[in-house]
A and B are shown apart, each in its own frame.
Chain A
Amino acid sequence: MLVLTRKTGQSIRIGDDIIVKIIDVDGSQVKIGIEAPKGVLIFREELYEKIKESNIEALKASKELRPEDLIK
């Protein structure tokens, strides 16, 4: 993993079109601004993992669920 040190107001550029800017630092919290092109969705990592887990669970459930239970 690349590790960079930045000050408030400074940025990091990833490729041609993604900019990550340090907006504010307050104790252990860092406020980050992200500019990315349309089509790049940005999620908090732990929530991205939850969406992923839920999708994988849905693929598995589709083999076991009885959808007719829904329409009774």
Chain B
Amino acid sequence: MIKIQSSRFGELEIDENEIINFPCGIPGIPFEKFILRDLIEPVKWLIAVDDPDVAMLVVPPFKFFPTYGFELSDEISSILEAEKEEDIEVYVALLKYNDGVAANLKSPFIINKNKKIGVQILLEDEKYSFKEPIKK
């Protein structure tokens, strides 16, 4: 168990086993180790272990966008060491949108929850945008 002080979360107790490694990095964020923590169902924090004040809100997209979907390339599956679909969790970052909330559907975070490996991918699909409003 690692204990880390952060201004936003106070003292964070992090179990080594919950650390998700992003071996390819996350564009714009100079860290590779993250944890997921529940905020309010279904919203979670994606928190950088080396600097917990670097954190974003994420949600599984399917609840808000039921038709959301994409195929994982062999390359990404191999980075994730994913053998079956059940190993995979998908999250999208939340953004502000006028008075409401939007999600970045264009570049989701794909996580192998068993092996604790994550990758942020980019979807070529034109129908997904970087800022898609979420209807309440």
| Residue ranges of A at the interface with B (Cβ–Cβ < 8 Å) | 38-41, 43, 47-48, 50-59, 61-62, 64-65, 67-72
Instruction: Check B136–A70 contact: CB distance below 8 A.
Output: yes
A38, chain B: closest CB distance, angstroms: 6
Contact of A59 among B40, B54, B100, B134 (CB under 8 A): B54
Interface string of B3-24 (1 = CB under 8 A from A): 0000000000000000000011
Chain A interface, >50% SS class: helix
Residues on A with beta carbons closer than 8 Å to the beta carbon of B59: 70
Residues on B with beta carbons closer than 8 Å to the beta carbon of A41: 24, 119, 121
3 shortest A-B CB distances, which residue pairs? Answer: A52-B28, A58-B93, A52-B27
